[in-house]
């Protein structure tokens, strides 16, 4: 009998395994040095968000529902927290070790990051003058006392904390914010080329000058991470303007309770206990770091080395898609046949050109679109504004609850409204995460729909960094169902039934389960049966259980899951027919592909939805069928290529751990490199044919 512990993994611990794979890229000597710096910083920023959102949520659960158990591993909130904190301590030790290695590697490249132990007296004197003239006038020190309460520490900002002593034996705490935004984080050290010091280290060193008259008993840099897990729908009241409500919610989130406290230097237990008391932080949530508390400066160091191309990945530029002919109407080309764009290998330009064309086409009646995360300088939004100014009916659903992009979306919603677009903000209880665009055009035969459905956001920046797929089709049944989605959204409702699209929350999970059941039936008949899924995360227990059922029935199941995977593959008697692969590389794997059936009868979809309950049941998501035989074959070939990746892929083992695949005697295959090489080759061939 197979136990739950053998086939299910806790969500949070699985996420930490994903971030461990990110850290492995920083550790790997096969990764170019400057890219290793990026992965180290990404590991930290990922962990920041994990504490803000997931750990924050579990801390709340521990307080409000301490007996609530994880549906997969039966762990209580307290058990999950204990396991998380233990694992993070282990991973951070690796982070500290790889940081030390990276600093040594940077010195070999002529870049040094130093503290006062590594510089001379003359350099110290000049830095002291710099501190006196450029930094001291800009900092705001405070001393905690009866009339001076402990100050509010901003989320993720760095502070210098000092224990101050007086002759009477009494001690006080002094604090200085180190992130003013006015002086630079990296400070040039005089008389040493390409040598730098972090501003917070400079402040900490000269802190006795700030607190004159006191004995400095101890000092450290500290950084607090605050809970950011707020349920907007639970707090919203109908009589409040929703956009203004979200503005206030963002402000509130910045002041939520701390869930982690980091130190740069060891302090006495009594001091740590005092600080924890002031901020109401459980001492178990305290971390002592040997690496700097904020690694974002590593991107700035990257810039110092831009001229050394060998320290970076090979330069890649999104290529012109061979599916489109230059100089011809995009809409006319889509009317002839379905089109697929594959980012970042192919340029987003054809989609942007289509939006611009629609904005200026007299026959276009309306453009409707869902926006979840858009660029700071968005050509997509510019095209929508242009369309509205040209008299088109433009409906835009801007999801103000897109976590950490709320402020950007609020600003864009204002600009869209000012241009005359009809802006709506989503649904009560549901985030709108779908990537859906519908252009309605009046033609000779009547009204015609042009629909774009994607796996990624309408964001020109991430289209160069994330792997995503974008289907553009003139299929009228798809267009009609997309129109139904927008009509429902405009009324504050969700679609109840669909025929070709899979649309959450009502028509995606159930239809996915139905497709899996079809494969189970084939397997039970003794026929070949297959399920292939590429997603970011797998946590939906109903789907996990169906995959286990499929495996037991003999269905072959391939899962390409970048991040969280709560299913453990390869366990005899339960999941031996399931393989789980995770690809972590240069580009963030973000596309979602669903394949049901063997090659000759496969039903293939691309989607915005991961197999997480939040996606399948608590969001508006859309999956589109791939009907065009050439596009279907292309998507299946891409999926098969990922299954054969032996450079950036890790395969999950029956114990839940991941093993990095090695080429061995086989040809090295990096799926991301191959797809880019193919894009370059096709673009070159198209240019040669034109010539």
pLDDT digits (tens, 9 = 90+) for 76-126: 999 999 999 999 999 999 999 999 999 999 999 999 999 999 999 999 999
**CB-based contact 70:4 (threshold 8 Å):** no
Residue 243 scores a pLDDT above 80:
no
The per-residue pLDDT for 171 is: 86
DSSP 223-277: EEEE-----HHHH--TTS-HHHHHHHHHHHHTTSPEEEEEESS---HHHHHHHHH
Q: What share of the chain in percent tops pLDDT 90?
A: 81
Q: Is 644 a catalytic residue?
A: no
Consecutive H or E run containing 339: strand 339-343
What pLDDT score was predicted for residue 234? 45
Residue 559 neighbours by CB under 8 Å, 6+ apart: 532, 533, 534, 535, 538, 547, 565, 567, 569, 578, 579, 580, 581
- Split at pLDDT 50, 70, 90, the class of 274 is very high
Residue 450: C-alpha distances to residues 480, 622, 676 (Å): 10, 16, 28
Mean pLDDT throughout 168-187? 88
Digit-coded pLDDT (tens) for 513-534:
999 999 999 999 999 999 999 9
In this structure, of 226-230, 257-261, 577-581, 637-641, the range with the lowest mean pLDDT score is 226-230
Rounded to whole angstroms, the Cα distance separating 84 from 23 reads 16
- How far apart (Å, rounded) are the C-alpha atoms in residues 682 and 662? 28
The catalytically annotated residue of 205, 285, 433, 522 is 433
| pLDDT for the residue numbered 235 | 42
Tokens of 201: 């280290």
Average pLDDT of 649-670? 94
Kind plus residue range of the DSSP H or E element containing 210? helix 207-210
Q: How confident is the model at residue 236 (pLDDT cuts 50, 70, 90)?
A: very low
Nearest to 295 by CA among 481, 122, 106, 148: 106
CB 423 within 8 A of CB 398: yes
Residue 400 vs residue 544, higher pLDDT: 544
Split at pLDDT 50, 70, 90, the class of 377 is confident
CA 496 – CA 613 distance, rounded (Å): 18
pLDDT band at residue 237 under the 50/70/90 scheme: very low
* Helix, strand, or coil (residue 644): coil
Query: Is the model's pLDDT at 570 over the cut of 50?
Result: yes
3-state secondary structure of 662: coil
Find the helix or strand (DSSP H, E) in which 198 lies: strand 195-198
What single-letter DSSP state applies at residue 376?
Answer: S
pLDDT at 486: 96
Residues 6+ apart with CB under 8 A from 149: none
Q: What percent of the chain is predicted at pLDDT more than 70?
A: 95
Work out the pLDDT band at 57, boundaries 50, 70, 90: confident
pLDDT tens per residue across span 402-452: 566 677 777 878 888 898 999 888 788 899 999 999 999 999 989 999 999
Q: What rounded mean pLDDT belongs to the chain?
A: 93
């Amino acid at each position: 009998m197979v136990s739950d512990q053998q086939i299910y993994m806790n969500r949070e611990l699985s996420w930490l395994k994903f971030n461990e794979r990110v850290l492995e890229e920083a550790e790997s000597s096969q990764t170019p040095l400057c890219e290793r710096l990026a992965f180290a910083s990404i590991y930290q920023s990922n962990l920041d968000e994990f504490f803000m959102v997931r750990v924050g949520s579990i801390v709340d659960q521990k307080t409000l529902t301490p007996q609530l158990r994880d549906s997969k591993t039966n762990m209580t909130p307290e058990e999950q927290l204990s396991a998380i904190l233990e694992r993070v301590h282990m991973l951070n030790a690796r982070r500290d070790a790889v940081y030390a290695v990276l600093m040594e590697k940077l010195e070999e490249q002529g870049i040094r990051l130093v503290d006062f132990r590594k510089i001379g007296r003359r350099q110290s004197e000049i830095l002291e003058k710099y501190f006196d003239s450029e930094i001291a006038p800009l900092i705001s020190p405070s001393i905690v006392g009866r009339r001076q309460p402990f100050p509010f520490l901003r989320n993720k900002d760095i502070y210098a904390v000092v224990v101050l002593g007086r002759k009477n034996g009494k001690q006080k705490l002094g604090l200085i914010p180190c992130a003013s935004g006015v002086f630079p984080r990296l400070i040039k050290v005089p008389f040493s080329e390409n040598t730098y010091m972090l501003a917070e280290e400079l402040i900490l060193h000269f802190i006795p000058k700030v607190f004159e008259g006191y004995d400095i008993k101890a000092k450290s840099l500290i950084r607090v991470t605050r809970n950011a897990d707020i349920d907007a729908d639970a707090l919203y009241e109908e009589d409040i303007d929703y956009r203004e409500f979200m503005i206030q919610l963002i402000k509130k989130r910045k002041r939520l309770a701390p869930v982690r406290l980091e130190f740069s230097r060891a302090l006495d237990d009594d001091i740590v206990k005092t600080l924890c008391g002031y901020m109401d932080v459980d001492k178990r949530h305290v971390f002592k770091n040997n690496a700097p508390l904020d690694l974002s400066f590593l991107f700035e160091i990257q810039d110092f080395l831009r001229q050394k191309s060998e320290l970076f990945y090979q330069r890649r530029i999104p290529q012109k898609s061979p599916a489109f002919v230059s100089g011809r109407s995009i809409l006319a080309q889509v009317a002839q046949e379905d089109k697929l764009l594959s980012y970042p290998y192919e340029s987003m330009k054809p989609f942007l050109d289509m939006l611009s064309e629609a904005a200026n086409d007299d026959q276009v009646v309306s453009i409707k679109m869902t926006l979840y995360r858009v660029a700071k300088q968005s050509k997509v939004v510019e095209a929508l504004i242009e369309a509205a100014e040209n008299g088109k009916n433009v409906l835009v659903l801007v999801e103000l609850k897109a976590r950490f992009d709320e402020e950007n979306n609020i600003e864009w919603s204002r600009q869209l409204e000012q241009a005359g677009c009809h802006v709506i903000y989503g649904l009560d209880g549901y985030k709108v995460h779908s990537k859906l665009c519908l252009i309605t055009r009046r033609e000779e035969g009547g009204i015609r729909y042009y629909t774009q459905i994607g796996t990624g956001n309408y964001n020109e920046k991430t289209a160069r960094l994330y792997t995503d797929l974008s289907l553009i089709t003139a299929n009228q049944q798809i267009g009609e169902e997309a129109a139904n989605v927008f009509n429902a959204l405009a009324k504050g409702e969700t679609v109840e039934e669909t025929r070709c699209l899979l649309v959450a929350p009502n028509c995606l999970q159930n239809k996915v389960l139905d497709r899996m059941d079809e494969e189970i039936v084939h397997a039970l008949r003794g026929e070949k049966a297959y399920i292939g899924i590429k997603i970011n995360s797998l946590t939906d227990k109903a789907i996990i259980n169906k995959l286990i059922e499929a495996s037991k029935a003999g269905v072959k199941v391939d899962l390409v899951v970048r991040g969280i995977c709560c299913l453990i593959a390869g366990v005899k008697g339960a999941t031996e027919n399931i393989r789980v692969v995770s690809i972590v590389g240069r580009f963030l794997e973000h596309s979602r592909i669903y394949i049901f059936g063997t090659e000759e009868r496969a039903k293939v979809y691309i989607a915005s939805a991961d197999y997480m309950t939040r996606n399948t049941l608590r969001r508006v998501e859309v999956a589109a069928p791939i009907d065009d035989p050439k596009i279907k074959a292309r998507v299946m070939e891409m999926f098969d290529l990922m299954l054969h990746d032996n450079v950036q892929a890790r395969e999950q083992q029956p114990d839940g751990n991941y093993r990095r695949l090695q080429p061995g005697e086989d040809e090295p295959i990096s799926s991301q490199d191959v797809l880019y090489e193919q894009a370059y080759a096709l673009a070159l061939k198209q240019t040669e044919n034109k010539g």
